[in-house]
Amino acid sequence: MTAAFFILAALTVAGTAAAMGLRNAVHCVLALTVGFAGVAALYLQLGAQFVGLTQIMVYVGAVAILAVFAIMMTHKPGEDQPRIFSSHWVVGGVVAAAVFSVLAWAISSSGTANQFPPPEPSVTVLAIGDSLMHTYVLPLELMGLLLTAALIGAVVIAMDRREETK
Amino acid sequence: MTQMLDQIFVTAKLWLMGYIPAAAKPLASAILSVVPVLIAFPLLFAITTWLERKGLGRIQNRLGPNRTGPFGLLQPIADAIKSLTKEDIVPLRADHAVHFLAPVLLVLASFLGYAVLPIGRNMVIVNLDAGVLYFFAAGSVVELAVFMAGWSSRSKYSLLGAMRAIAQMISYEVPLVLASVVVIMQAGSLSTVAIVEKQTGYTGIFPHWFVFTPWGFVGFALFMIAATAESNRSPFDLPEGESEIIAGYYIEYSGFKFALFFLGEYLGMFATSGMAITLFLGGWTAPVSFLTWIPSYIWFFAKLVTLIAVFIWIRGTLPRLRMDQLMNLAWEFILPMALLNMLVAGVWHFMPSGILRWLVCTAIVATPCVLFSARLKRKKRLQVRTYIFAD
């Protein structure tokens, strides 16, 4: 529990809170990106280099760009969206409190979370790569196949649309 | 003596650290490592702008800047004063906060990559286990800054420029990463320091640089093409194509913010060139064994300046690509070649060393290279493009 943790945690919470509260959809995505970056920095602080850097690469570099592209293609630029908050905020609050209490109970009753001092992480990028290429090579290949199929499917759908507009 | 000159900056840092109280040591160590990089690379940027204008002038039969100082050497200073004193104009309908943050984020993201570049023996800010991964992760933040600049300006040209820039950066990031995978496969490490150390040996007088192998040569060529596209330089300068969309995503920026975009772009170019040097050109090692007495950081910067000169030369020589040519080059040539190159790196690893290994590996890359480039040259039927989101 250092100062760095509190700064990063505050940044993450502020970013994600702003993502829910801002009116402009693009602003929301940018605020969410701050949240993503904060989570990545927290991973890095915990010594999980691979997860942290992948989080930045995938979420900040790809998902955020994808989200802004989606927004820009569906909305007219410069148009603020009306608030979409539900009026039943009491129900929402109860659900949020319930989820939080379940999570807090699960974490506090878990054995690994309460070790003090926390054990030093021993998993390096090399170890992750080794286990991906040796132990888990078949699941990895299957994932690759699945993603390739999804990619080809997306291309096929995009091509069909161009045929229609012609 | 040689040893001392080589390690002069490292010793200077250690000497300075001796005067700092123990409590402030981690912070002071970080500052002492970061500040020289923050000074050296913007200074290199200033020299590069002069070199670029002189070089382009030479190629185009002009004189280039020649009014301020000897050979126009003080031109960067004049440019800096000019951009500092210019009025900062923000479009009325622009999104002010995002418009302000975009150049800041761009420069910040461009500087991040330098943390893992070994610019000399023992001279790297952090020796991360996942250094190469970190470098590409930092590079992917640039896209977001470009989008912020283009979107927040509320201008058609900005938006079109940002769209082009992002499409280009995403397309070329894939071959950029894949081209460097071969080096990671051979070095067996993601750490930039370890990769350079793998290339330190010599056979006779020739160094063990990765570029002097079939897969290394192909990887280096692909990496440099992708790096040119990543840094939006000619012939891949569609995002800022002056004759079509004026200056692309930063058209609505003036004064010092414009200078920041300029700085960010060049810093990105230096960082990817530095990465190319680290991965393929042996980092800070000397090109021949009898010149190892020259300090390591001088070699790094000499290689960097050489690559910059090549960039300037290409900019003065090649015309701009069309959008479809740009995308076809990425997806039909560079990407399959990069994938094939990974196969070659594997074959190279498992074959016994000798002339046969060279022949087999060269054949595997050379044949498809000819085939793919013949495919690229085909005539294509083109239709009028419509931009559905920028009418």
What is the number of domains present in chain A? 2
Q: What is the pLDDT of residue B282?
A: 84
Q: Does A61 touch chain B (CB under 8 A)?
A: yes
- Chain B residues with CB under 8 Å of A44 CB are none
A135 and A69 together in one domain: no
Residue A67 belongs to some domain of the structure: yes
Q: Has the ipTM of the complex gone over 0.85?
A: no
Is the per-residue pLDDT at A57 higher than 90? Answer: no
pLDDT tens-digit readout, A13-50:
999 888 888 777 888 888 999 999 999 998 888 878 88
Q: Does B126 touch chain A (CB under 8 A)?
A: no
Q: Can you tell me which residue has the tokens 């992708």?
A: B226
Nearest chain B residue (CA) to A62: B140
Domain limits at A129?
Answer: 124-166
- Banded model confidence at residue A162, pLDDT cuts 50, 70, 90: low
pLDDT tens-digit readout, B90-104:
888 878 888 888 889
Residue A85 belongs to some domain of the structure: no
Q: What is the pLDDT of residue A38?
A: 92
Is the per-residue pLDDT at B278 higher than 80? Answer: yes
Q: Distance, in angstroms, between A114 CA and closest chain B CA?
A: 28
Q: Can you tell me which residue has the tokens 């021949």?
A: B288
Q: Which of B174-183, B205-214, B315-324, B380-389 has the highest mean pLDDT?
A: B174-183
Is the per-residue pLDDT at B299 higher than 80? Answer: yes
Residue A141 belongs to some domain of the structure: yes
A50·B133 Cβ contact <8 A: yes
Residue A3 belongs to some domain of the structure: yes
Residue A105 belongs to some domain of the structure: no
Q: How far is CA B314 from CA A119, A142, B53, B183, in A?
A: 53, 42, 13, 25
Q: What residue segments make up the domains of chain B, in order of their start? A: 36-376
- Predicted structure pTM score: 0.85
Last residue of a domain, one of A77, A108, A139: A77
Last residue of a domain, one of A77, A108, A135: A77
A49·B128 Cβ contact <8 A: yes
Tokens, residue B348: 């190279």
CATH number at residue A31: 1.20.120.1200
Q: Distance, in angstroms, between A17 CA and closest chain B CA?
A: 18
Q: What SS3 state is found at B203?
A: strand
- Banded model confidence at residue B373, pLDDT cuts 50, 70, 90: confident
A57·B159 Cβ contact <8 A: no
Nearest chain B residue (CA) to A77: B154
Is the per-residue pLDDT at B132 higher than 80? Answer: yes
pLDDT tens-digit readout, A110-160:
776 666 666 666 667 788 888 888 889 999 999 999 999 998 998 888 776
- Chain A residues with CB under 8 Å of B158 CB are none
A61·B137 Cβ contact <8 A: yes
- Chain B residues with CB under 8 Å of A54 CB are 133, 137
Q: Best residue in B141, B166, B173, B192 to probe A by mutation, most A CBs within 10 Å?
A: B141
Q: How far is CA B141 from CA B102, B146, B193, B210, in A?
A: 11, 9, 23, 28
B136 touches B173 (CB < 8 A):
yes
Nearest chain A residue (CA) to B142: A61
Q: Does B128 touch chain A (CB under 8 A)?
A: yes
Tokens, residue B92: 């009325």
How far apart are the C-alpha atoms of B113 and B131, rounded to whole Å?
9
Q: Does A75 touch chain B (CB under 8 A)?
A: no
Residue A128 belongs to some domain of the structure: yes
Q: What is the pLDDT of residue A147?
A: 93
B170·A56 Cβ contact <8 A: no
Tokens, residue B34: 């970061």
Q: Distance, in angstroms, between B23 CA and closest chain A CA?
A: 15
Is the per-residue pLDDT at B243 higher than 70? Answer: no
B130·A65 Cβ contact <8 A: no
Last residue of a domain, one of A44, A77, A110: A77
A61·B129 Cβ contact <8 A: no
Q: Distance, in angstroms, between B196 CA and closest chain A CA?
A: 18
A30·B166 Cβ contact <8 A: no
**Element containing residue B166 per DSSP (H, E):** helix B156-187
A13 and A70 together in one domain: yes
pLDDT tens-digit readout, B4-60:
777 777 788 888 888 888 888 888 888 888 888 888 888 899 889 888 888 888 888
Is the per-residue pLDDT at B345 higher than 60? Answer: yes
- Chain B residues with CB under 8 Å of A33 CB are 144
- Where do runs of H (alpha helix) occur along chain B? 2-6, 8-17, 25-59, 75-85, 96-112, 131-152, 156-187, 192-198, 214-230, 242-245, 255-279, 296-317, 323-328, 335-350, 355-376
Classify residue B206 by its DSSP letter. E
Q: What SS3 state is found at B318?
A: coil
∠ CA B177-B178-B184 to the nearest 5 degrees? 85
